[in-house]
């Protein structure tokens, strides 16, 4: 949960500096941050398992990096659907 809070917190911080962004842009920023943080945490452990929920960040027994990739893809879909 903490990894997701950090990821979206940094995305909202970027919004403060860059100005108003759509929900899709926030997801595009937060998704990779969450994935990178979770993968880095998992690779520092002895087991180095990317799929075991107990070895890193997880939500509903799914690795946090999966949610990061999902939010990245969902953000891209949002942005592309709003493009003229």
Per-residue pLDDT of the chain (84 residues; tens, 9 = 90+): 888 899 999 999 998 888 878 888 999 999 999 999 999 988 887 777 787 777 777 777 788 889 999 999 999 999 999 876
pTM of the model: 0.83
**Number of other residues whose CB lies within 10 A of the CB of residue 78:** 16
**Domain coverage including residue 56:** 2-82
d(CA 23, CA 28): 9
d(CA 3, CA 34): 6
d(CA 38, CA 42): 6
- How many distinct structural domains can be found in the chain? 1
Contact 43, 81 (CB under 8 A): no
């Amino acid at each position: 949960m903490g990894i997701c809070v950090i990821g979206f917190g940094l995305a909202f911080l970027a919004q403060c500096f860059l100005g108003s962004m759509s929900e899709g842009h926030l997801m595009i920023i937060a998704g990779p941050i969450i994935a990178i943080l979770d993968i880095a945490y998992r690779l520092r452990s002895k087991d180095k398992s990317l799929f075991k929920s107990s070895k890193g960040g997880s939500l509903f027994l799914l690795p946090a990096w999966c949610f990061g990739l999902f939010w990245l893809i969902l953000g891209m879909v949002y942005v592309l659907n709003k493009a003229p």
